[in-house]
Amino acid sequence: MALSMPITLAMTAGMAHTVNIDLQQVSIATLIIALGLLVDNPVVANDAIKRALAAGIPRIYAAWVGPTKLARAILYATATNIIAYLPFLMLTGTTGDFLYSLPIVMTAALISSRLVSMTFIPLLGYYLLRAPVKPEPTIEDRRERGFYGMYNRLAGKAIQ
């Protein structure tokens, strides 16, 4: 997971350089805005692989099936954020000149994150992740034990 961010940022810088956008105030601010989804895409893909391994699916299939199950959701989240920033390209004047790089860098960053989460994360998941030794507790077990159990009982009493 730690390697996904540098790879994503390197790909983003490469894409931005390809379209002649330098690192400057707006492009760096754009990366900060996109940071949530840049981290979320690989985390979701990694979690899907871990869940598949916990379900007893062999590593080779878990690395492929895990992210593939969530590929549509990751795609829609990525596309929604890209589309949300595209109207900045229609701004004119000095404001348009100043914010021109925002939607382009956002698009490059989110596409890079999508590519990393669907290729690099499954590759690493196959080599690094293992099935858990003991099965994960069910949601019913978690509601009764530990902090979550205490919180569940406290919330139930508060609601009553």
**What is the mean pLDDT of the segment spanning 8-30?**
88
45-55 core/surface letters (b: 16 or more CB in 10 A; e: else) = bbebbbbbbee
Q: Which amino acid makes up residue 51? A: R
Q: How far apart are the first and last CA of the chain?
A: 42
Please report the DSSP string for 30-48 in residue order: HHHHHHHHHHHHHHHHHHH
The angle, 0 to 180 degrees and rounded to 10, between the axes of the packed helices 71-85 and 101-115 is 170
The answer on pLDDT for 11 being more than 90 is yes
**Into which CATH architecture does domain 4-129 fall?**
Up-down Bundle (1.20)
Domain assignments of the chain as residue spans, ordered by start: 4-129
- Whole-model pTM: value is 0.79
CA distance 45 to 24: 31
**Would you say 102 and 19 are in contact if contact means Cβ atoms under 8 Å apart?**
no
* Average of per-residue pLDDT values in the chain: 88
Which residue, among 48, 51, 100, has the nearest Cα to 73 in the 3D structure?
48
φ and ψ of 89, to 5 deg:
-70, -20
**What is the mean pLDDT of the segment spanning 43-58?**
90
For residue range 115-149, list pLDDT tens digits in order: 999 999 999 989 988 888 877 777 777 778 888 88
Which residue, among 34, 43, 44, has the nearest Cα to 9 in the 3D structure?
34
